Structure formats: C-alpha cells, structure tokens
Amino acid sequence: MAKTGDPLKFSFTRPKVKPLHFSFSGLKTNVLQFLQREMKQNPNFISENINDICASVQHTIVTILLSELEMACEKTGITEVALAGGVSANSYLRENFTSLALEKGWASHVPDFQYCTDNAAMIGASAYFKYLNGEFGTLTDKPNPRLPFIL
C-alpha cells in the first residue's frame, strides 16, 4: 500500500531518544493518536487514506533509520555499510539506503531479495531440527536469546 501512497502527505514525530538509540514506541503512539483524531472527524479516514498513511509512516521510519546510520558512520568513520535481516526486504529502505550510500561515498551491500529473511525463518529452522531430535518445549518455557543452535 505504501508503494502507491504519498510519503509526505502526513508527518509524524521522531521519537525522542538518545542519539544512536532506537525506540519506535513514541512514533507508534503518535500514529495511533493521529488516527484516533482523524477518525473522530471522518470515520472513513483510514480506508480513504490507507496508502498515504502507510507511505508516510514508512517514510518516517526510513528517515529515522538512515539518519541514525549516517550519524553512526560520521561518529565512527565507518564507510562500508550493509542492510540485513527482514527489514532489508523493504524496497523504500533499499532505495533510500542505496542513494544515501552513493551520496556519502560509502561501500554498500544490499542482499538479494531471497536472502532478506527475518527471525521467523531462523526460529522455524531451529524448531525443525529440535523436532527431528524429539526435543519439545512446554507452555512454561521461558525465552532464551542465547540458546545454542546445534545440529
């Protein structure tokens, strides 16, 4: 939907966090309050503006990500950057990342689309091998971000 929307139609605030820290909770709150306010005036606001809303939210997120990347590169002197993970599948991010890298003279790396996987793929692969080994969890298991991946 964002591909056909106007990314500058609506503006959203940038979350107030320390430089090089990420939190989108302020942005999510801002979008929610914006939608609630607009829905009071026009109950069809979302359906009538969905493409522009999506494009504007996406634009805000990409702007935040790339400005933080730019700041990090300036502070560290890093000139070789890469996109990774599921977010790297976003075409708007890919295009703007590539443009910024070209503008700044960075060596940039963008994976082919088929390699833009997210955590769900890794969790699924891990679960598959655990299943093959007869290892099953319980409803009381707790998350373990350091769980070893052993084949």
**Confidence category of residue 83, pLDDT binned at 50, 70, 90:** very high
What are the distances in angstroms from CA 33 to CA 20, 27, 66, 139?
26, 10, 25, 35
Report, as an integer, the average pLDDT of 58-84: 95
Q: What is the full DSSP assignment across 55-82? A: HHHHHHHHHHHHHHHHHHHHHH---EEE
Q: Which of 61, 71, 62 is nearest to 104 (CA)?
A: 71
Q: How far apart are CA 28 and CA 64, in angstroms?
A: 13
**Confidence category of residue 1, pLDDT binned at 50, 70, 90:** very high
pLDDT, tens only, 95-123: 999 999 999 999 999 999 888 877 777 77
Point out the least confidently predicted range of 48-57, 87-96, 103-112, 132-141. 132-141
**Would you state the pLDDT for residue 50?**
98
pLDDT, tens only, 14-30: 888 888 888 888 899 99
- Per-domain residue ranges for the chain? 1-77
**Would you state the pLDDT for residue 22?**
80
Q: Quote the pTM value.
A: 0.78
